């Protein structure tokens, strides 16, 4: 073959390779997929997977398909640190997650070392509010939820509340309790007992509830994940069957009802989305989610889907040389499944909440005036 022919063949090869599909856009995911409270992370993962599949079928982001790089934090600080480091090494554009404030404490700094943005669907701790860092949050702050709980519980006639907190997610639970205690006192109520425990398979939940009851409360409040709340509710029904019970938003997953059954009937809990929404947008999402995963979406799935779609829209409009966070903040507001998502300069947002009570094996929305 002549030199000229070799050059022509090489040139054609280069042209053809340049016309091929562009390299995928790597997006990280980090959440608790294997720990005892994995319902939050698994549901969030499903929401992100659905968003990725839909965006890829529509052509991807600027012609590039999304490739999801998944890591399990196992709700363990060591595991989370390793997982975040692996996402940095994979050179992901951004990370969706983490899903608990306790994991955000270790994940966010690791990602910050490489200027990688984390967009969390569910983190609410005040430790991450009002900070110009590499974290953008889809959820409202624990302060807002705790204040609403104080108002609603007082309106329901509860004056002396005993609270149990899982210290394994201290960044969230202690932040939540501090805000609730202050707000409830302003209403005229009192937190008469604060029982801290660490969630483990061998935790004595009977002893936890027994300690809560020593101060004579007129209601019990559990700041914990779904599995623990189901166990705490079981003990509450045994030891004080007539006392009202409630749980923080952390437990508001589908698994709570599946695990708790009759013992969680009557439990008060807030949702960050409207389960009764019959709008075309939400119905389409709900049907697609059920078709893909054979179950209905929970709050973590809704928030994670919103987080993914916010990120993909921002990336599709990202200017040359612009950071991912700058693109996210510049291109809002975004239309979520149910609510407009508006970020402030720090990447914080507001989200409407809906109070529910578990009745007849389902979350039933309370009077709209309670959700104001």
- The C-alpha atoms of residue 299 and residue 244 are separated, in whole angstroms, by 23
Whether residues 155 and 135 share a domain: the answer is no
The verdict on residue 16 lying in a domain is: no
Whether residues 321 and 365 share a domain: the answer is no
The CATH number of the domain where 45 resides is what?
3.40.50.2300
Tokens (6 digits) for 62: 């600027």
Give the residue, 15 or 83, on which the prediction is more confident: 83
What pLDDT digit, counting tens, does each position of 261-303 carry? 999 999 999 999 998 999 999 999 999 999 999 999 999 999 9
Q: What is the pLDDT of residue 370?
A: 56
Residue range 325-349: average pLDDT?
Answer: 96
Whether residues 235 and 364 share a domain: the answer is yes
Whether residues 233 and 362 share a domain: the answer is yes
The verdict on residue 57 lying in a domain is: yes
Average model confidence (pLDDT) across the chain: 92
The verdict on residue 13 lying in a domain is: no
The verdict on residue 299 lying in a domain is: yes
Query: Is residue 352 a contact partner of residue 339, using CB atoms and an 8 Å limit?
Result: yes
Whether residues 334 and 263 share a domain: the answer is no
Whether residues 53 and 105 share a domain: the answer is yes
The phi and psi torsions of 41 (rounded to 5 degrees) equal -70, -40
> What's the pTM value of the predicted model, to 2 decimals?
0.88
The verdict on residue 253 lying in a domain is: yes
Burial class (CB in 10 A: 0-12, 13-18, 19+), 54: middle
Whether residues 149 and 240 share a domain: the answer is yes
Whether residues 95 and 46 share a domain: the answer is yes
Residue with tokens 């009077």: 367
What residues make up the domain containing 62?
Answer: 25-140+278-341
Whether residues 55 and 118 share a domain: the answer is yes
Query: Is residue 356 a contact partner of residue 366, using CB atoms and an 8 Å limit?
Result: yes
One-character DSSP codes across 45-110: HHHHHHHHHHHHHTT-BTTB-EEEEEEE-TT-HHHHHHHHHHHHHTT-SEEE---SHHHHHHHHHH
Q: What is the pLDDT of residue 22?
A: 82
What pLDDT digit, counting tens, does each position of 149-191 carry? 999 999 999 999 999 999 989 999 999 999 999 999 999 999 9
What pLDDT digit, counting tens, does each position of 92-125 carry? 999 999 999 999 999 999 999 999 999 999 999 9
- Longest CA–CA separation in the chain, Å: 96
Whether residues 106 and 51 share a domain: the answer is yes
Confidence of residue 232 (pLDDT cuts 50, 70, 90): very high
Whether residues 149 and 73 share a domain: the answer is no
Tokens (6 digits) for 132: 């110009």
Query: Is residue 139 a contact partner of residue 123, using CB atoms and an 8 Å limit?
Result: yes
- The C-alpha atoms of residue 138 and residue 304 are separated, in whole angstroms, by 8
Please give the distance of CA 300 from its chain centroid, rounded to a whole number: 5
The verdict on residue 2 lying in a domain is: no
Whether residues 78 and 188 share a domain: the answer is no
Please give the distance of CA 135 from its chain centroid, rounded to a whole number: 13
The verdict on residue 11 lying in a domain is: no
Tokens (6 digits) for 258: 């599946």
Query: Is residue 120 a contact partner of residue 307, using CB atoms and an 8 Å limit?
Result: yes
Q: For residue 333, is the peptide bond before it cis, meaning its omega torsion is within 30 degrees of 0?
A: yes
Domains of the chain: total: 2
The verdict on residue 334 lying in a domain is: yes
């Amino acid at each position: 073959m002549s030199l000229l022919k070799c050059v022509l063949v090489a040139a054609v090869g280069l042209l053809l390779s340049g016309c091929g599909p562009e390299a995928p856009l790597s997006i990280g995911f980090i959440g608790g997929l294997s720990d005892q409270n994995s319902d939050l992370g698994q549901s969030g993962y499903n929401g992100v997977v659905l968003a990725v599949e839909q965006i890829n079928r529509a052509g991807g982001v600027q012609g590039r398909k999304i490739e999801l790089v998944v890591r399990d934090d196992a709700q363990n600080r060591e595991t989370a640190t390793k997982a975040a480091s692996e996402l940095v090494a994979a050179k992901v554009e951004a990370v969706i997650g983490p899903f608990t404030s306790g994991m955000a404490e270790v994940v966010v700094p690791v990602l910050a070392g490489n200027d990688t943005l984390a967009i969390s669907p569910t983190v609410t701790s005040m430790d991450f509010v009002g900070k110009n860092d590499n974290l953008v949050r889809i959820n409202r702050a624990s302060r807002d939820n705790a204040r609403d709980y104080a108002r609603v519980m007082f309106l329901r006639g509860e004056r002396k509340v005993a609270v149990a907190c899982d210290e394994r997610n201290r960044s969230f639970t202690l932040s939540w309790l501090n805000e609730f205690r202050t707000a409830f006192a302003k209403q005229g109520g009192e937190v008469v007992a604060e029982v801290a425990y660490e969630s483990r398979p061998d935790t004595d939940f009977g002893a936890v509830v027994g300690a809560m009851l020593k101060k004579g409360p007129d209601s019990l409040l559990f700041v914990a994940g779904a599995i623990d709340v189901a166990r705490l509710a079981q003990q509450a029904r045994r030891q004080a069957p007539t006392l009202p019970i409630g749980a923080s938003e952390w437990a508001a997953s589908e698994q709570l009802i599946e695990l708790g059954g009759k013992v969680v009937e009557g439990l008060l809990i807030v949702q960050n989305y409207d389960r009764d929404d019959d709008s075309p947008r939400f119905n389409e999402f709900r049907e697609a989610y059920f078709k893909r995963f054979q179950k209905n979406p929970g709050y973590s799935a809704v928030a994670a889907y919103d987080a993914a779609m916010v990120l993909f829209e921002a990336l599709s409009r990202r200017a040359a040389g612009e950071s991912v966070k700058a693109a996210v903040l510049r291109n809002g507001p975004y239309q979520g499944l149910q609510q407009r998502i508006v970020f402030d300069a720090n990447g914080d947002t507001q989200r409407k909440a809906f109070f529910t009570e578990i009745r007849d094996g389902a979350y039933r929305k309370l009077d709209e005036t309670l959700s104001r």
